[in-house]
Amino acid sequence: MSQFWLYFRLGLDHVLDWQAYDHVLFLIVLVASYSFYSWKKVLWLVTLFTIGHTLALILSVYEIVKVATDYVEFLIPVTILATAIFDIATAGKKLRNGNYSLLYFTTIFFGVIHGLGFSSYFKMIAAGSDAKFWPLVEFALGIEVAQVIVVLSVMILGFIFQNIFNVSRRDWILVTASIVIGIILPILQESYRAL
């Protein structure tokens, strides 16, 4: 297996691993309130999350930024909870343009936090290798392809529930965000105890 496919597959598997589903939970609440009609906003959100995520990986791998793993592991569920609460608070409401700026900035910032969470894993698998940049790019590409798979899956599920089962958009958002909150609260409590 070539080096590209090795790191690409590691990035892909790391996001889609059911034992490490915090990344998937974040993506679910990030896009649950959007439909295929809002594909430009979804594209912006996922791209901004990717930018923050990749920036954090670069800063961490090149040891420009060092953050204690325990704090990052605590902040990741905080980002998921905050995004789910935002979904609940805005379900059925239209955001004003000014609120999108805050949403975009927050998405980049949350991407940085999630990227810092992946950085320790990446450092572990790339330990001993002199080349860091290309393996980092290959790993990040695997992560991003996995994110696209998750986002499309959530949007397809949303389409099915809203258009075939006639679940209102508001109810879809409320139920999805509530399920994610129910999953993330014990993880948040456990990561808080680990601090």
Digit-coded pLDDT (tens) for 131-169: 888 888 898 899 889 999 999 999 999 999 999 999 999
Q: How confident is the model at residue 1 (pLDDT cuts 50, 70, 90)?
A: low
pLDDT of 33 > 80? The answer is: yes
Confidence (pLDDT) at 94: 78
Residue 169 to residues 23, 46, 51, 79, 176: CA-CA distances in angstroms? 23, 20, 29, 23, 11
Residue linked to tokens 């936090």: 113
Segment 59-78 shows an average pLDDT of: 92
Higher per-residue pLDDT: 147 or 20? 147
Residue 98's pLDDT band (cuts 50, 70, 90): low
Residue 45 has a pLDDT of 92
User: What residue ranges do the domains of the chain occupy?
Assistant: 3-193
Nearest Cα neighbor of 195 from 48, 61, 41, 74 is 74
The mean pLDDT value for 25-40 works out to 93
